[in-house]
């Protein structure tokens, strides 16, 4: 499982010209799922995500978590994080990205686990949809988490 975590001032996801998920200050997270990923891996990364200390404290040091600042999450499935571009110029996803059914189940599990934590708001994209994602990156700060 691979997460691209972006610290944002605000972010939203649009599907069919309608905003389906939006947040203010927090994390916009792209989530890629591999065929070997499990609920245990998802649990580990949920904990890593919510305890990730990349918000500034009163001394302008990255020392606060999303829970510390009462921040929000926008979680977006992103199978292209597992693109294999080693052979030619057209990305391949065969064997690198999980099949849609399995990926959707694990994505939904990840979302549900985040909702069980002390997070002000957990918004999502729509699995498998053509989404337009907008964000105002804060910093910019972008961290990749994977297991």
Burial of 65 (0-12, 13-18, 19+ CB in 10 A): middle
Q: What angle (nearest 5°) sits at the alpha carbon of residue 145, between those of residues 141 and 147? A: 175
CB 77 within 8 A of CB 128: yes
Categorize the per-residue pLDDT at 11 as very low, low, confident or very high, splitting at 50, 70 and 90: very high
80: annotated active-site residue: yes
Q: Which of 36, 38, 80, 142 is catalytic?
A: 80
Residue 66's domain comprises 2-146
pTM of the model: 0.95
Give me the CATH number covering residue 88. 3.50.80.10
Total count of domains within the chain: 1
Coil/strand/helix, residue 143:
strand
pLDDT tens column, 24-64? 999 999 999 999 999 999 999 999 999 999 999 999 999 99
């Amino acid at each position: 499982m691979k997460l691209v975590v972006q610290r944002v001032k605000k972010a939203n996801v649009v599907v069919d010209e309608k905003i389906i998920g939006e947040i203010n200050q927090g994390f916009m997270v792209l989530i890629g799922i591999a065929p070997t990923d499990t609920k245990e891996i998802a649990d580990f990364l949920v904990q890593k995500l919510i305890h990730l200390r990349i918000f500034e404290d009163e001394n302008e040091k990255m020392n606060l978590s999303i829970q510390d600042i009462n921040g929000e999450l926008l979680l977006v499935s992103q199978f292209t994080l597992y693109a294999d571009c080693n052979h030619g110029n057209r990305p391949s996803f065969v064997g690198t990205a999980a099949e849609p059914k399995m990926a959707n189940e694990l994505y939904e599990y990840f979302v549900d686990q985040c909702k069980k934590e002390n997070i002000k708001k957990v918004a999502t994209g729509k699995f498998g949809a053509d989404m337009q994602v907008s964000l105002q990156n804060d910093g910019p700060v972008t961290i990749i988490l994977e297991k």
